[in-house]
Amino acid sequence: MNTVGLVAFALVGSTKAIREEFDVFGIAVVGLVTAFAGGVTRDLLVDRVPLALTSFGEIGLGILGVALAIGLHSALESPDGHPITLLSDAVGLAAFATAGAIVATEAGVSSFGVVAIATINAVGGGAVADILLDRAPFILFDDFYASCAVAGGSVYVIVGGIGGMESTAAAVCAAVTVGTRLTAVTYGWSLPAAQMLGFVRDEPRDSQ
């Protein structure tokens, strides 16, 4: 799960940086941050040395994702909206949500902690990458994204709670996360804003 997530998210993050016309170094930085920031945060939360700092193979997988993004950019006109990139993003989200749930369970945290760490592992890298790209993290205001990781982590806890094997819980978590994300992309799902629910009134902007 970790291997799949690293390659997929490095590809997705690098594609965003290419769209913003970053140089090669900037592309690599954004790609690697997307791949590793969530996992590093996860490891710090469960009090262990981040895997990214203990294995060169981890960095190698991230660099592979960066190289794939550059290759896609040279072959495709709009790689960031291409089905390959969208599928990679969904697969990476599912892989990291599942990896986070497994690590959290092994660390002995509560059910809420498992869902929280699964979600942080899945979306943390993208949130930090968005900050590097000088924009608000899109998981906070756009798209049906982090909710997919929450759903996957919750299903992992439920399956484990009713006596399912860890491998079964992991498979169901990954399937629910990637399935929900692809469905959301296909049908344009998004969570409603407060204005849409009528809790907050839209105020006209100052003409100044």
3-state SS assignment for residue 198: coil
Series of mean pLDDT values for 10-residue runs along the chain (208 residues): 89 92 96 96 94 87 94 78 85 95 96 97 95 89 86 97 94 96 89 66 54
CA-CA distance, 175 to 168, in Å (whole number)? Answer: 11
Per-residue pLDDT at 197: 60
User: What local confidence, expressed as pLDDT, does residue 109 receive?
Assistant: 96
Helix, strand, coil distribution of the chain in percent, nearest 5: 75, 0, 25
**Global confidence as pTM:** 0.88
Amino acid (one-letter) located at 70: I
Rounded to whole angstroms, what are the CA distances from 62 to 2, 36, 49?
Answer: 11, 8, 18
Q: Which pLDDT value is given to residue 46? A: 95
Dihedral angle over CA of 10, 58, 128, 71, nearest 10:
-20
- pLDDT of 90 reads 93
Whether residue 46 contacts residue 109, with contact meaning beta carbons closer than 8 Å, is answered with: yes
